[in-house]
Structure 1
Amino acid sequence: MTNSALPNQRWDIFCAVVDNYGDIGVTWRLAKQLTTEYSIHLTLWVDDLKSFSHILPELNPKLDSQVQHGVTINHWTEPLPTPFIPADVLIEAFACNLPAEVQHSMLECHKKHKSSLGAPAAPLWLNLEYLSAEDWVEGCHGLPSLQNSGLKKYFYFPGFGAKTGGLICEKDTLPNRMQWQADPSNRLKLFTQLGLSGINLTDTVISVFSYESAALLSLCQLWAQSSTPVHALVPKGRSLNSLTSLIASPISELQAGQQIGFGNLTIHILPMTDQQGYDRLLWSCDINIVRGEDSFLRAQWAARPFVWHIYPQEDDYHLVKLDAFMDCYGAEMSPELNQLWRGLNVAFNQEQIAATQNEWQKLLLNRQALLDHAQQWPINALIDEDLASRLVQFVKNS
């Protein structure tokens, strides 16, 4: 598909910021990719610009409208700061509730189009859903839902199968990652840029971006007993809430670049970084512990062994989603390696202390096999088109 597949089309994406960075992280990557690779005139409406600015430092949270990386970013307030004019495509990210004035504008456009053939049609209305590897996703992807207003809304499901909406991955992500990892000095340069000191090339470096977990504390206690240096790179936030017993200072007083030593473990406090910087961090670590959707997917493109701390849901439904992904990711592993990787992820997510420590020690003995699989996985996962390519094709077909 060429970049001129949808020339001069205008799209709107609405995103409500949830959990600070998860939803906006995915949405911002998609907005940039659609603008850069497909020349779409895109307006991104965001309700929390302050949280957004943490991953886009050049963003000015005080402005109602601005352009960043070719994307028009508008502050989503109610009422909207500017009159809403329906575009060609409207995407509500992750079932956010569209403002009444937006739905009213779409309905009026729909009525005019029905009464006059020359009037523009209402936007193609899509709900971008959360990523899941569950089997039912293929059957639900792309289905329309007739709203009470008479408008149709289509459900767009990202996924790992050929009949889903695909996975977000910019065209230059994998080539850039391979070039970065080909030169080991890149990671030391990055650590220096981040204000992290005392890390040698042969040390084990682990990035940690998790929710609160007693399993994380148990891993830190295990790493402290390692025979070789271990460095845990942890941003200020929820992961550190699990480590208060190891850290003398209050979490709120910790500064980026600060180090906490505990046996052979050094905990480094990471500064906040933009998305490109976070990608490079994942590329530079030996093992990554990630959470949510955006960091979970970027850890896969990093081609490094990883642990996914999935967001807990009622009735442990998150474990069903975890199991579905492990089936997918582990399909090409040997049975023994698959069992090891599954065991670690399950133990960590269920906060099974002894099991988490035992499975981690097994992981260290099989790191090369896990690394080999992690390097092949992105190639397998992207054998078909990525999410943006499939989304553009879906719009063309609709």
Structure 2
Amino acid sequence: MTQRWDVFCKVVDNFGDIGVCWRLARQLQSEHQLDIRLWVDDLQVAQRLIPSLTLAATEQRVDGIRVMHWCADADFSDAADMVIEAFACGLPPAYIAAMQQQQSRWVNLEYLTAETWAEDFHAKTSPQANGMVRHFYFPGFTQATGGLIRERHIPPVLHPPAKQAVNACKVSLFCYPHAPIISLLSAIAEGKQPVHCYVPSTTILPQVADFFGKTSLQVGQMVSHGALTVEVLPFLSQADYDQLLTRCDINFVRGEDSWVRAIWAGKPFIWQPYLQEEGAHIPKLKAFLAQHYQSMPITALNVSQAMHMAWQDTAFQASVWDDYLAAWSSINAATQEASRTLFSQTDLASKLVIFCNNL
């Protein structure tokens, strides 16, 4: 009999939460033959990634997944065998009551981090006052964690490292609006190497338009200044975005979903973690850089760290961009090696299924 799983997703950070949950739900359904319901509280945001969603529907089927609108008047009386609470989103009290009746298993899927404490807390339990047990599942970059989302169709990075950066550098730009976007574009424009920058239509588009002295930019439009040419892309599906990452030489990514996809693309990337109070995101960044680029030569590592830290600042120095381009070959080789190392580990969905079946 097919196992029934429910995945609960509360949209907090625009596309990050739903992006991870939608990928996971599809993989669990297609590769592990599970009956999946995805509960989403904001269908309007979800529709950007799942265009065929009908906003007025309380229940609908998309790509084999039953998408449920998580709203106040939803029917929470039918709990699944396995319940995934994504990112501590909190489950409806009525649904938790149904879980008690069903004797459902309960797992909280945590945010991805490279910090070493994730290994200590992965797979730990939290007994609840109602007698149920909540299990904590930490994705991660080591065998002692829950792994990374990676579908079977993703190929390993096999091509040899390039010996030097290409003449016409292709860059993708996906970031949070508080990033030093204007100073980055200025640094690229003032540089000697021509850069073609692809910018999907997101909340940063007004700042890009402002850099070029435009009131707005439209999808399909191309604008140039100095060494920089920007091409505005539509908001991309996950599959199209993954393709963009593999075609570019440098990728600016953010949050969790695009971060992991940049790893599988095997191209040099600059990650912007989600902004947290009191700079709590900076240790997350430093832990990832230390873990991911263990094989990188020290000079290239210093350049990569300087680039990442500048991208978290309020301004971006042109010299940081120039240094990164000069070290691109070494960074590229180390990025590919790190991707191959992670590819040898078991993916998150597979490890999650094993973990849940053993509860």
Q: Distance in 2 between matches of 1:168 and 1:28?
A: 11
Give the structure 1 partner of residue 46 of structure 2: 52
Instruction: Specify the structure having the higher radius of gyration (Cα).
Output: 1
Residue identity (%): 39
Match 1:136 to one of 117, 120, 123? 117
Indicate yes or no: 2:353 matched with 1:392: yes
TM-score normalised over the length of structure 2? 0.93
Q: Distance in 1 between matches of 2:209 and 2:34?
A: 47
Q: What is the root-mean-square deviation in Å for CA atoms of aligned residues?
A: 2.0
1:1-398 map, 5 Å: 8-80=2-74, 82-107=75-100, 109=101, 122-174=103-155, 203-213=168-178, 215-251=180-216, 254-354=217-317, 357-398=318-359
Greater mean deviation of Cα atoms: 236-245 or 136-145? 236-245
1:295-325 CA deviation, whole Å, 9 max, x = no partner?
1111111110010111211111100110110
The residue type equivalent to 1:54 in the other structure is R
The residue type equivalent to 2:126 in the other structure is S
SS of the aligned residue for 2:350 comes to helix
- Are the aligned partners of 1:212 and 1:241 in contact in 2 as well (CA < 8 Å)? no
The residue type equivalent to 1:85 in the other structure is D
Larger relative contact order (C-alpha < 8 A, sep ≥ 6)?
A: 2
- Are the aligned partners of 1:126 and 1:155 in contact in 2 as well (CA < 8 Å)? yes
The 1:33/1:212 distance shift into structure 2, 3 A limit, reads same
SS of the aligned residue for 1:174 comes to coil
- Are the aligned partners of 1:303 and 1:374 in contact in 2 as well (CA < 8 Å)? yes
1:265-292 CA deviation, whole Å, 9 max, x = no partner?
1122110111001100111111000111
SS of the aligned residue for 1:353 comes to coil
Shift, 1:219, TM fit:
1.9
Shift, 1:375, TM fit:
1.7
Q: Distance in 1 between matches of 2:139 and 2:225?
A: 41
- Are the aligned partners of 1:214 and 1:353 in contact in 2 as well (CA < 8 Å)? no
Q: Distance in 1 between matches of 2:56 and 2:240?
A: 24
- Are the aligned partners of 2:82 and 2:104 in contact in 1 as well (CA < 8 Å)? yes
Query: Aligned pair count?
Result: 355
The residue type equivalent to 2:305 in the other structure is R
SS of the aligned residue for 2:204 comes to helix
Greater mean deviation of Cα atoms: 314-323 or 221-230? 221-230
Q: Distance in 1 between matches of 2:158 and 2:297?
A: 25
The residue type equivalent to 1:152 in the other structure is V
Q: Distance in 2 between matches of 1:360 and 1:248?
A: 22
The residue type equivalent to 1:156 in the other structure is Y
TM-score normalised over the length of structure 1? 0.85
In structure 1, runs of 5+ residues without a counterpart are 1-6, 110-120, 182-200
The residue type equivalent to 1:133 in the other structure is A
Shift, 1:62, TM fit:
2.2
- Are the aligned partners of 1:130 and 1:157 in contact in 2 as well (CA < 8 Å)? yes
In structure 2, runs of 5+ residues without a counterpart are 161-165
The 1:244/1:255 distance shift into structure 2, 3 A limit, reads closer
